[in-house]
Amino acid sequence: DAKTTQPNSMESNEEEPVHLPCNHSTISGTDYIHWYRQLPSQGPEYVIHGLTSNVNNRMASLAIAEDRKSSTLILHRATLRDAAVYYCILRGLAGGTSYGKLTFGQGTILTVHP
């Protein structure tokens, strides 16, 4: 499986933007980049995904490098409720070893200060 690398932890202040980086230098052309987050005492929840182009939704934006070897999850205005572990995950198409699987790395622990 293609691997992702994320910083162990990051800190932010409330109301400020947060940029969470993810490196995936061995990504294949058919791998989608997914982000999930896990709030304390809850199951993971889907945040956003993309393939090549930048993506926006109501929760966040995903910026994907032109060579696709890295991506950045952007929370435009962090709130205390955004404090969570953020996971960057690659998902492949049928026939690959990652087919059907969501393989979580260690993730980034985001702390948001009031």
As a whole number of angstroms, the distance between CA 97 and CA 1 comes to 6
Whichever of 34 and 112 has its CB closer to other proteins, that residue is 34
Least Cβ distance, residue 13 to other proteins (angstroms) = 25
Counting every residue written for the chain, the total comes to: 114
Q: Specify burial of residue 41 (Cβ count, 10 A radius: 0-12, 13-18, 19+).
A: exposed
Segment 33 to 72, residues that bind other proteins, using CB under 8 A: 34, 36, 38, 41-46, 49
Q: Is 87 in the site for other proteins (CB under 8 A)?
A: yes
Q: How far apart are the first and last CA of the chain?
A: 38
Q: Which chain residues interact with other proteins by CB under 8 A?
A: 30-32, 34, 36, 38, 41-46, 49, 85, 87, 91-94, 99-107
